[in-house]
Structure 1
């Protein structure tokens, strides 16, 4: 059968984060190349960037590589606090072939750091991006650079960075031939005297005689705040991609941030941005292009026409053409992620989960996939069977929602998935057809529950729904039915079964957001019949919070939960701290200067369970402070206060 190819666009929008603890591949030969291991990185304010280079030893050129995933972990340094600002960091291949080898200068990853001012000392977060497209270069000795940009102070704040390349050996789905950089830079946007189109010129490449297709891999983020539109960071503009003078893709360079799995953060983390969010490892846009061996082809990237009165915006774009031979197999699928159930950082908003598992599948073969069999279930329980039907094009990803409940025992469990018979045929490479994820069982509660909702000043933005595992609504407060600054205590009687609670905010800034003082502060909790807290939800949640649970036995014991709140955090005089706990504790509240940690308030409360306390800072000069809360001597809460700013 003659191999046919059409243009395919795969926008990798999944924040697929795989940790070593919670993820297990079934590939027979996996190598971890760790180039940066809890390396402390800080800014260089004199330069605006600080480069950290290290070497890694990858498989030799003669060894087959099936896939390479770059796992990135950020944490707080032992001797410092986490850094404050959302800076753009670059992960780059600098040299290949050893210290006397070839210089490359290829960006393979771009990390947008979070607002870390409120993170505790033990905070970490994991991200991941597939970098198999660079497998031609990730061979033998390779120098990898982590370039931390920014200008904030570097004496008392920073990050720890771990870069772990997970290399799965095995026959590649597509054998790479060459890699070519076609765009790389900060392209000024909005300057009528020097338009971006003058820089983003069409680029030509010649197809190799053995090439079946070429993959265009693009990473783009917008930065800067000009007039009149706050471009490029806070303006939505479209981008067009042309191949051989034909438009193959047009989309807005824009990303919603209210569903960021890393929340809350200290700054404006909920604001939508130019294709990125604070605390975000960029996922590339992938365009698979048909080529004619030996022929010349053209790629062109264009931005929407835009002119600024004070141009200062930049579109940071890196783009590569990777040429590949034809796929090794006709029928070949791979499972690349389990979204729910999971313990991965990327999927915190979807978990814990007790129904409707979700997986990510990629077509690794030459033929479109119209069907596949899927076996799945929790280890120790009977497996379920599901036949998926659809149209998954070669190299494409799809998220598959699997029917039914997720069985579990109390505590930690393992969920297993296996893909079988793509298009009713034998899969030609079965090593990546299985995956397992560790997960914690959703908690079990008694049948009487209270939904405690204190609305803020903008209740029209909020709604909640409580559903069973079949999607039937048990209780809801629909959008438009809530009143401002009102306490709702809705008691529900639930039969044995599995449920999920979902609270949404249409504005994407939760029940509280420091930059929206007119919104005020609200609160949502789930309580048992005696008023003890079963689940406390962070008010600064962005677009939504969800909670899956089960009614049945054994009932989870009421734990020693605590709830903290501080509002407003931008003030000219007073701020109010509220505290709630299921059991009494000794509580110490301190307000300290930032920087410097000078204690300006030190207040002790003996054996309290609940309280609301207002502190007057009007006598203090303009500046920033931290409110810290210690429960029985252990720091449990920290939030920044902006005074008179």
Structure 2
């Protein structure tokens, strides 16, 4: 599983097995973990709009060489509380270095946009990671780390459990940092005709250190606010220009598509595209390596697309830092950064489990462009394969490489291993970060007869699906525009032994069901076996796409006690309908729960229920919000928010 449902397992994961998702060849002595916040209960302060949580961490000394620092952020529901509701802008900062009497600092090293957590179960949790090696000069000795949680929602019964873990890999740095300075770090009003944002985003000059080879500009930018009529800055697509020494380096749209968010579904408008962020998103910075001339003065300038609003409430939240580095220590030096598939990491859950074409991330941390490398890869316990990559990977650049072939596995958990070597045919200068091991779960194995069950919604022109085999050959397809509304399609397939991929697409990015799209209605997709038993149920509120990888062969995976839930509509003036389907009968309890308060407004008991459709009339209740909760055998299996008369 990618989202672990056992809270005790999650605690064990945090405490003892940070390296379970991706491990390297570095020995335990070369890697250490600094936890500044451990399951810290984080709530808002509605009187201020923010609340800070500070904690100290003991980092390596200044004399200790650091190769890499990864910040991992774990979110869960706090003990005795439910997960919080809103997509707030949280900042992780270095506040002080050198101990209590040390130097005051104010560096945002990461930014978290919290998810809509109102419908998460109490066992829910998720984690993200970001490379913060650029702050290695400051993450030394005693450091005070601040988690700043913004927002105004009630704080008595909801919040987050936050853990911050810094994974520090010791070793020769790829580049030796010289200095770090702020370029921009503020909330900038955008669209005010009387106060142009460019007055604040002025060009910033810096002098190159005599030892500097390049300066790295690290930028995190998100848009917020909701002016009329454009919806800026959260819901308007504007561009940003980056100028260096009077020359335009890049024009970039400050915009992010959210329909493929790995954290889904969420309670709110999680599928809506936004200004460079999505709910449930630890921001990854934009990185620019700028060539400098030692002793010369250079200028960095960020400009926003010209924009004026008659009702300006838009803000661009920008932190930009400039880190000067010495020349890369090695000429030929590559590092394997990550495994996208196969993987257990939550951020890659839409692509996994996977059975074909492994995908890795490689970075060039040497002085010269890399034109070729050797990659050896495969599942431990099986024969390894070799792939010779050719292309152009610039110095400081990162690339994703798709490797040919199948991903072999045995039942249960497996370990995929990849080793990179011979950059430009030369010996790699630092082989310790050339090997990676990624634990992964094997794909489910099905019988040869498979039924694709698809019930369309009111907007079938937005839906399509395709099934391909391991060679990419199309086995069955329902193209966009070929489906009718509110129609059930059952396609029976007889498949030979192979690996397959089922992809369900929605061109509007709002799945087969989305509470804020009542005109779309509700649809359903699942895979059945020849007996009509459910072998895979798909969440209807999936955003842009669903990808399911499976194998046909023997022995087939036994039929599990799966259940399927669908509640629609979740914004209503009177009635809502629950569709329930299970492979095996069980005792089911359905509860309507007030929010806030948690009072049970009504409760329904169904003995040995296997399948049914139930309509509940809520018109007698006053305007407000509720949860519909389904318990099976006394355990909550489904929970969804209902907006009544809103």
Shift of 1:410: 1.0
Shift of 1:189: 0.2
The match for 1:3 is none
The match for 2:472 is 471
The match for 1:249 is 250
Q: In the TM superposition, what whole-angstrom CA distance separates every residue of 1:50-74 from its partner, at most 9, and x where no partner exists?
A: 0000000111000100000000000
1:246-645 matches, within 5 Å, as: 246-645=247-646
For the 8 Å contact 1:209–1:293, the answer to whether it is kept is: yes
Q: Distance in 2 between matches of 1:576 and 1:530?
A: 27
Shift of 1:20: 3.6
Shift of 1:533: 0.4
- 1:197 counterpart = 2:194: no
For the 8 Å contact 1:19–1:344, the answer to whether it is kept is: no
Structure 2, gaps ≥5 residues long: 1-16
Q: Distance in 1 between matches of 2:610 and 2:396?
A: 55
Q: In the TM superposition, what whole-angstrom CA distance separates every residue of 1:359-387 from its partner, at most 9, and x where no partner exists?
A: 00000101101110000000000001101
SS of corresponding position for 1:540 = coil
Structure 1, gaps ≥5 residues long: 1-17
Q: Distance in 2 between matches of 1:22 and 1:194?
A: 48
TM-score by length of 2: 0.97
Shift of 1:25: 1.9
TM-score by length of 1: 0.97
Q: Distance in 2 between matches of 1:284 and 1:365?
A: 21
Shift of 1:622: 0.3
SS of corresponding position for 1:119 = coil
Q: In the TM superposition, what whole-angstrom CA distance separates every residue of 1:539-558 from its partner, at most 9, and x where no partner exists?
A: 00000001111111111000
Q: Distance in 1 between matches of 2:149 and 2:445?
A: 44
Q: Distance in 1 between matches of 2:109 and 2:633?
A: 46
For the 8 Å contact 1:206–1:296, the answer to whether it is kept is: yes
The match for 2:93 is 92
Q: Distance in 2 between matches of 1:31 and 1:316?
A: 32
For the 8 Å contact 1:224–1:312, the answer to whether it is kept is: yes
Q: Distance in 2 between matches of 1:43 and 1:21?
A: 32
Q: Distance in 2 between matches of 1:229 and 1:62?
A: 52
Q: In the TM superposition, what whole-angstrom CA distance separates every residue of 1:518-569 from its partner, at most 9, and x where no partner exists?
A: 0000000000000000000000000000111111111100000011110000
SS of corresponding position for 1:263 = coil
Q: Distance in 2 between matches of 1:616 and 1:20?
A: 50
Q: Distance in 2 between matches of 1:20 and 1:45?
A: 37
- 1:166 counterpart = 2:172: no
Q: Distance in 1 between matches of 2:104 and 2:391?
A: 44
Q: In the TM superposition, what whole-angstrom CA distance separates every residue of 1:458-507 from its partner, at most 9, and x where no partner exists?
A: 01111100100110011111111011000000000000111110000010
Shift of 1:27: 1.7
SS of corresponding position for 1:431 = helix
For the 8 Å contact 1:19–1:126, the answer to whether it is kept is: no
The match for 1:25 is 24
The match for 2:61 is 60
The match for 2:4 is none
Q: Distance in 2 between matches of 1:393 and 1:180?
A: 25
Shift of 1:19: 5.4
The match for 1:7 is none
For the 8 Å contact 1:332–1:427, the answer to whether it is kept is: yes
Q: Distance in 1 between matches of 2:571 and 2:240?
A: 37
Shift of 1:21: 2.5
